[in-house]
């Protein structure tokens, strides 16, 4: 009886803790009539999950020696599972060498404990098709695991997806040296084709659960043109054996009603990134990313715990992040764009953040990284035939004002930061293009320098406590309607 009581009590406590972790934080501190309606946050994530039959890849002659490529055998198991009405595809422990796999409707690819899927290092094992890469639609190789035009699918298990991407990292760095000499820095990221880890495209009710993803050639997980997807418990480590360029952790790209939770990400670019297209091509597609919940995640190296942009053309709105941790990440919250991107980033809510050794608590810049963000054809190429994606990148935004991005309604609260390099860097463009309606509340930070706030309108800092090593104070220039409640310790 006692044992039963204790088990019941433990269950109640665990359930209570989980409920508390998932409870939407209160933003009651927001002033005036701006109280947000975040009820949409209860309606995100996959609504279904594959069940039923079990199909074993060993029955389709897949070999687990890590040397024999078995793409066809694994794919045959996936196809058979889907044709039978769906279920789970399983592996015996071991290493499986594979090219691109395509998950079908109703299939859960279960990469169990002791199983490693090893991505082929031969790019020819990844068929090319039209996708979106870093904001533009173009032909690109498939990912190692792909969910395209599907419903009710999953990738799960406690095993590992080792994409073996270093060969693509090395390729990029060599190409970039040559491209920079030619004045082509703006296009090298698109000319150097690299393999993504997992792509979910034009799909719904897709779940990623618990697997370890490492050494991706390009972005680790991209959710593109999709809805009602859940990413839960994914561990991403792209800081193994070198510096992987553009090895983002999770990219939510023109998608809606997405849930990301309990993930641990260590990478060399944006950790969790919200995107919606780039420049003229992104404005043409004009699909927003909206209604995204991110909670209970940890990021380590990388460019941003949460990043919005720089691809903002289709707009980004209604993003909620809470119970987050950053260790050595460049920024806790980073919002970035460029003056030819367009789109609006708005209604960004982030609360209950622990940050240690980050570059900045908040970084917001309408004109980010000009050497990458703006395309110009060198004179030697004028009049010559150039690739189609070069033409896309060179297409001007007309009128120019259509390319101006807008950042507004950003709420960052309840942050504790230590050993940060800088507290804030927030910059609008000019008197007529400002950062609008930013609210920072209840933040305690130990930083090397304070930072700056420039060209903003209705920028509120409340209950901010800063301990600044170099004794500097936040530099405020050319702001309107600013309110400051800052205590320097």
User: How many structural domains does the chain have?
Assistant: 1
What are the residue ranges in the chain where pLDDT is below 70?
Answer: 1-21, 32-33
pLDDT for the residue numbered 72? 98
- Cβ contact 297:325 at 8 Å: yes
Domain of 271, CATH number, reads 2.160.20.10
Q: Which domain holds residue 124?
A: 52-358+367-403
442 domain residue, yes or no: no
Residue 376 lies in a domain: yes
Q: What is the pLDDT of residue 232?
A: 98
3-state secondary structure of 172: helix
C-alpha 426/C-alpha 184 separation (Å) is 29
Asked if 249 and 283 touch (Cβ cutoff 8 Å), the reply is: no
Closest listed residue to residue 258, CA positions, set 270, 245, 272:
272
Q: Which of 234, 188, 122 is nearest to 375 (CA)?
A: 188
- Contact 92/117 with Cβ under 8 angstroms? no
**pLDDT given at position 243:** 85
Is 44 part of a structural domain of the chain? Answer: no
For residue 2, what pLDDT is reported?
Answer: 37
Q: What pTM was estimated for this model as a whole?
A: 0.95
Asked if 281 contacts 314 with a C-beta cutoff of 8 angstroms, the reply is no
Looking at residue 26, its pLDDT comes to 87
**304 lies in some domain:** yes
Determine if the peptide bond prior to 176 is cis (ω within 30°): no
**484 lies in a domain?**
no
| Tokens linked to 204 | 């719904």
In a domain, 415, yes or no: no
12, part of any domain:
no
pLDDT of residue 21: 53
Q: Give domain status of residue 410, yes or no.
A: no
Q: Pseudo-torsion of CA 223, 226, 229, 231, nearest 10°? A: 0
């Amino acid at each position: 009886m006692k044992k039963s009581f204790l088990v019941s009590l433990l269950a109640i406590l665990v359930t209570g803790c989980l409920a508390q972790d998932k409870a939407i934080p209160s933003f009651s501190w927001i002033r005036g009539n701006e109280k947000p309606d975040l009820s949409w946050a209860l309606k995100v994530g996959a609504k279904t999950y594959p069940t039923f039959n079990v199909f074993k890849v060993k029955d389709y002659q897949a070999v687990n020696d890590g040397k024999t490529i078995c793409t066809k055998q694994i794919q045959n198991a996936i196809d058979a599972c889907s044709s039978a009405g769906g279920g789970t595809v399983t592996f015996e422990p071991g290493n499986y060498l594979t090219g691109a796999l395509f998950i079908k409707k109703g299939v859960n690819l279960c990469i169990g404990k002791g199983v490693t899927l090893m991505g082929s290092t031969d790019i020819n094992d990844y068929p090319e098709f039209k996708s979106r890469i870093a904001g533009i639609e173009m032909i690109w190789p498939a990912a190692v695991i792909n969910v395209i035009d599907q419903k009710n699918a999953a990738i799960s298990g406690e095993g590992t997806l080792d994409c073996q991407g270093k060969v693509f990292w090395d390729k990029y760095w060599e190409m970039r040296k040559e491209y920079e000499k030619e004045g082509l820095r703006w296009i090298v990221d698109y000319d150097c084709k690299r393999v993504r880890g997992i792509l979910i495209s034009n799909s719904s009710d897709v779940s990623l659960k618990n697997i370890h993803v490492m050494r991706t050639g390009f972005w680790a997980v991209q959710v593109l043109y999709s809805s009602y997807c859940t990413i839960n418990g994914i561990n991403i480590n792209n800081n193994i054996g070198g510096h992987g360029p553009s090895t983002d952790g999770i990219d939510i790209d023109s998608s809606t009603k997405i849930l990301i939770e309990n993930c641990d990400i260590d990478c060399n670019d944006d950790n969790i990134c919200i995107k919606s297209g780039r420049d003229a091509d992104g404005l043409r597609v004009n699909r927003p990313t909206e209604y995204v919940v991110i909670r209970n995640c940890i990021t380590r190296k990388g460019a941003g715990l949460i990043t919005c942009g720089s691809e903002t053309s289709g707009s980004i709105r209604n993003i909620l992040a809470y119970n987050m941790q950053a260790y050595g990440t460049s920024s806790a919250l980073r919002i970035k764009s460029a003056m030819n991107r367009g789109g609006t980033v708005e209604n960004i809510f982030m609360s209950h953040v622990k940050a240690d050794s980050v570059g900045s608590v908040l970084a917001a810049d309408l004109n980010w990284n000009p050497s990458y963000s703006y395309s110009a054809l060198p004179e030697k190429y004028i009049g010559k035939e150039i690739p189609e994606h070069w033409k896309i990148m060179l297409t001007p935004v007309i009128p120019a004002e259509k390319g101006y991005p807008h950042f507004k309604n950003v709420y960052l609260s309840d942050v504790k930061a230590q050993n940060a390099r800088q507290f804030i860097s927030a910059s609008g463009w000019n008197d007529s293009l400002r950062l609008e309606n930013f609210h920072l509340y209840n933040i305690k930070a130990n930083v090397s320098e304070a930072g700056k706030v420039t060209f903003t309108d209705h920028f509120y800092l409340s209950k901010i406590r800063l301990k600044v090593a170099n004794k500097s104070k936040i530099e405020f220039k050319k702001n309107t309607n600013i309110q400051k409640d800052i205590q320097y310790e």
